Amino acid sequence: MSEQYVVGISDRKVAIAPDSIVTYALGSCVGVALYDVKTRIGGLAHIMLPDSKMLPYAEQGRMKFADTGIEDMVDEMISRGADRGGLKAKIAGGADMFKISDGSRLASIGCRNVASVKSALSRLGIQLVAEDVGRDYGRTLYFDLTTGGVKIQSLGKGTKEI
């Protein structure tokens, strides 16, 4: 019997097929789905901020940050049998949700989150194989651990696979 796990903001879940994982309401946050096709172990993180050095108490909430949250998720996946060399990543979110009244954009935390996630993946030697990032709308990410497929659903934008 399969289960569907829900990942909250600044959270992660690691599971194995036939289970699935979902995270809702990715605005400027970034959903990071990691998958080992051989073991069918997957992890999903909901990254809120780009860098743990932003806040003095970051050690208390490592999953908030791209630099520490992804690393911790990889460690958990490996401890459960995943092969670091076989991990592939798909990401979604990092939207630029807020406009100033003149139509210009605020300094985008979403854009900074995406850049930091990509940097962390590169530093860890994990290949990014698909993404649906940026723009100005939120997303929900569904991760199927049987296939490694990621479905993105957005209000008014429909559903797509990445």
Q: How many residues does the chain have?
A: 162
Dihedral sign from CA coordinates of 144, 145, 150, 155: positive
Least Cα distance to 7 among 150, 133, 161, 124 occurs for: 150
Q: Which residues have CB under 8 Å from 53's CB, separation 6+?
A: 67
Contact 65, 50 (CB under 8 A): yes
Spot the catalytic one: 14, 22, 26, 29: 29
CA atoms within 13 A on the CB side of 6: 5
Active site residue 29: yes
Q: Which residues have CB under 8 Å from 112's CB, separation 6+?
A: 50
113/93 Cα distance (integer angstroms) = 9
Catalytic positions are 29
